[in-house]
Amino acid sequence: MKILVCISKTPDTTAKIAFTDNNTKFVADGVQWIINPYDEWYALVRALELKEAGLAEAIHLVTVGAADSEPIIRKALALGGEEAIRVNSDNHDPFYIASQIAAVAKEGNYGLVFTGKETIDYNGSSIGGMVAELLDMPYVSLATKLDLEGDSAIIVREIEGGEETDKVQLPLVVSCQKGMAEQRIPNMKGIMGARSKPLKVIEPVAAAILTTVVSFDLPPAKAGVKLVSPENPEELVRLLHEEAKAF
């Protein structure tokens, strides 16, 4: 059984968010790019653990991105995985991206396809579900645990105010979040080894584009904090009740 892990590139969590060109473009100057945390810490690491436990034969990584995604996918390969595929497109429409991933997944005949919970820039939380539908496979979203038992996966997923355990036959698509695995730091051997791992670049398959971003904007600045004296916390309760009408 092979696992495909979807890797996306996002601005660092502390990056300054700004837009230019009439608010149509994200200002990427000086932004540090990272592997989307959910893809790295949870999806990829859990896949590696399954391989280390002898439950998966190989881990392949896929990213849909232009040439500037290569450092990111190499960084992911430094953590592990045998090979990576980059689909050469920088389109951001979720359906378009999912179509590319589904094409790669079909070709490779994977037992599990892992995505992160969401990208921390687009926050779509939608690629995994789309890939699953395109592949006609079950989808378990927002998984916090995954184990394999024969040809089934035992998955814990988050629901409102609790969790649910599902048993699902492979193949399937899973979106991964906190709980799946512990963050790992790549070591020198991994970083050196990643340089010689195969990174296949393929051209995108034809796919429809269903949405386009027209513009971005930033939330209005806060009016500023109203400070209450620590000697008189009762005043805070009064303000929240009478002024903010918060309770």
Partner 1 sequence: MSVLIFLDQSEGQIKKSSLEAASYGAKVAELMGTSADAIILGTVNDDLTALGKYGIKKVHTIKNDSLNSLDAQVFAKIIADAATAINANVVIFSNNFNGKAIAPRLSVRLKAGLVSGAVALPDLSNGFVVRKNVFSGKAFANVSITTAVKIISLNPNSYSIVTTDAVAEVVELAVTPGTSKVQVTATNKIVGEVPLSEAEIVVSGGRGLKGPENWALVTDLAKLLGAATACSRPVADIGWRPHHEHVGQTGLAIAPNLYFAIGISGAIQHLAGVNRSKVIVVINKDPEAPFFKAADYGIVGDAFEVMPKIIEAVKKLKQG
Interacting partner of 230 out of partner 1, ligand FAD, ligand AMP, none (Cβ under 5 to 8 A depending on kind): partner 1
- Interacting residue with ligand FAD among 11, 37, 94, 111 (CB under 6 A): 37
- Interacting residue with partner 1 among 47, 127, 146, 180 (CB under 8 A): 127
Q: Does the protein bind partner 1 through residue 17 (CB under 8 A)?
A: yes
Residues 135-174 close enough to bind partner 1 by CB under 8 A: 136-142, 144, 154, 157-169, 172
Residues 46-105 close enough to bind ligand FAD by CB under 6 A: none
Q: Does the protein bind partner 1 through residue 13 (CB under 8 A)?
A: yes
Residues 56-85 close enough to bind partner 1 by CB under 8 A: none
Residue reference for tokens 């002898």 = 54
Alpha-carbon dihedral 48, 186, 76, 133, rounded to 10 degrees:
30
Least Å distance between CB 159 and ligand FAD? Answer: 20
What number of CA atoms fall less than 13 Å from residue 12's CA on the CB side? 9
Least Å distance between CB 87 and ligand AMP? Answer: 7
- Interacting residue with ligand AMP among 99, 115, 141, 177 (CB under 6 A): 115
Least Å distance between CB 179 and partner 1? Answer: 6
Q: Does the protein bind partner 1 through residue 30 (CB under 8 A)?
A: no
Q: Does the protein bind partner 1 through residue 32 (CB under 8 A)?
A: no
Least Å distance between CB 222 and partner 1? Answer: 6
**78-81, long-range: CB < 8 A, 24+ apart:** 78/186, 78/190, 78/191, 78/193, 78/194, 79/40, 79/44, 79/45, 79/48, 79/184, 79/186, 79/190, 80/44, 80/47, 80/48, 80/51, 80/190, 81/5, 81/44, 81/47, 81/48, 81/197
In 1-28, which positions are buried (b, 16+ CB within 10 angstroms) versus exposed (e)?
A: bbbbbbbbbbbeeebeeeeeeeeeebee
Strand, coil or helix: 175: strand
Q: Does the protein bind ligand FAD through residue 13 (CB under 6 A)?
A: yes
Q: What are phi and psi of 174, to 5 degrees?
A: -135, 135
- In whole angstroms, give the CA distance from residue 179 to residue 41: 10
Least Å distance between CB 10 and ligand AMP? Answer: 9
Site residues, ligand AMP (CB under 6 A):
6-8, 36, 38-39, 43, 62-65, 94, 97, 101, 115-116, 118-119, 122-128
